[in-house]
């Protein structure tokens, strides 16, 4: 099975900072990757699909890049509502679906 390794597991940042989260796949997955945002007590929300396509309604400060085995989620200017946990998800080998371990973005 394809394993997804996400880093860092947590980070502290200030409002306005540029934040980058990385996800690495154990084998090539093309661009079959999505990114999700989860706030406490809520279900995850899809932000990015196809590694770099922005879900409708998601602010343009979010962007995704990468292909093959290395992917990044970038928040260009962190806003108060962006403090959350972010997960990558690969679907190249679906089934199964495989999530990364998550990155918690906290206020510095």
**What are the residues facing 37 on neighbouring strands?**
45, 86
From 19, 66, 75, 98, residue interacting with other proteins (rule: CB under 8 A): 98
- Please answer whether residues 57 and 108 qualify as being in contact, where contact means their C-beta atoms are separated by less than 8 angstroms: no
Biggest alpha carbon distance in the chain? 38
Task: In angstroms, give the least distance from the CB of 63 to other proteins.
Answer: 17
CA distance 55 to 49: 7
29, 44, 73, 105: which one contacts other proteins (CB under 8 A)? 44
| Tokens describing residue 79 | 């806003």
Chosen residue from 19, 34, 78, 82 binding other proteins by CB under 8 A: 34
**In angstroms, what is the minimal distance from the CB of 13 to other proteins?**
21
Candidates 11-19, 20-28, 42-50, 66-74; binding stretch for other proteins (CB under 8 A) = 42-50
């Amino acid at each position: 099975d394809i394993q997804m390794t996400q880093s860092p597991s947590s980070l502290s940042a200030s409002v306005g900072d540029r934040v980058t989260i990385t996800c690495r796949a154990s084998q090539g997955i093309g661009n079959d990757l999505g990114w999700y945002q989860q706030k406490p007590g809520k279900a995850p929300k899809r932000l990015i699909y196809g590694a770099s396509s922005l879900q409708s309604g998601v602010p343009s400060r979010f962007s995704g890049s990468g292909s093959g085995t290395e992917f990044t989620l970038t928040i260009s200017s962190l806003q108060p509502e962006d403090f959350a946990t972010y997960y990558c998800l690969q679907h190249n080998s679906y089934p199964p679906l495989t999530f990364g371990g998550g990155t918690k973005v906290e206020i510095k």
